Amino acid sequence: MVVRPVLRAVIMGPPGSGKGTISARIVKHFGMKHLSSGDLLRDNMQKKTEVGILAKSYIDQGRLIPDDIMTRLMLNELKGLDRYNWLLDGFPRTVAQAEALDKQCQIDTVIDLDVPFETIKCRLTARWIHPASGRVYNLEFSPPKVQGTDDITGEPLVQRDDDKPETVTKRLQAYDAQTKPVLEYYRKKGLLKSFSGTETNNIWPHIYTFLQTKLPDVSLKDAATPR
């Protein structure tokens, strides 16, 4: 029997970088298993498992889950996927997590979405709402007829705290501080593959081509279907 080598990849990118969209396309076109630490935690929280209850207390305070808990959870999950191509999302978030992952398996590539913070800020701060009705506007895709006012009532629109420029800046700075050492860790190992751009649809073809070189058998099948 021929044993097909598997591809073990990590995807990294700040909130608003298009990581969710790109991950979904990778899964669709290359059939990789997608393992997101955030999704796994939310699933545990919903099921009220021991890890879920513990995780909730950290997440509610906007803190990271301690490395030992996070690592045990993720590595355990990966054990069941050792015959599949997989894509890790949201993990590792610290160098300690990256080192623990290295001990269990060898990562082949790290896809880094390098989207300028200014672009992300524009994207994330584009949402405005009309509090009384819950109507949502997006300054890029569905702007109000008159800037700053609700189309129906003419009342002023507001931004959610999460979407305010100062909050978005803080989130981006936190991502930067947290993940820079992890990106550096993988860069030194020669595994980091950065994709720069401002539009997900412009970045995607480069990632597609890159993964085609890593998974030629899978992409051959995919070539028959439209992207």
Q: List interacting residues with ligand AMP (CB under 6 A).
A: 37-38, 41, 58-59, 64-65, 70, 90-91, 93, 97
115 neighbors 198 (Cβ within 8 angstroms): yes
Nearer to ligand AMP, 168 or 218 (CB): 168
Nearer to ligand AMP, 21 or 153 (CB): 21
Catalytic residues: 19, 93, 127, 160, 171
Residue 187 known to bind ligand: no
Antiparallel, parallel or unpaired: β 86-89 and 33-36: parallel
Residue 62 known to bind ligand: no
Instruction: Report the nearest approach of ligand AMP to the CB of residue 64 (Å).
Output: 4
The kind and range of the H/E element at 86 are strand 86-89
Instruction: Report the nearest approach of ligand AMP to the CB of residue 23 (Å).
Output: 11
Residue 83 known to bind ligand: no
Nearer to ligand AMP, 64 or 158 (CB): 64
169 neighbors 121 (Cβ within 8 angstroms): yes
DSSP string over 185-210: HHHHTT-EEEEE-S-HHHHHHHHHHH
CA neighbor of 121 nearest in space, from 83, 155, 162: 162
Residue ranges of the binding site for AMP: 37, 42, 63-65, 90-93, 97, 160, 171
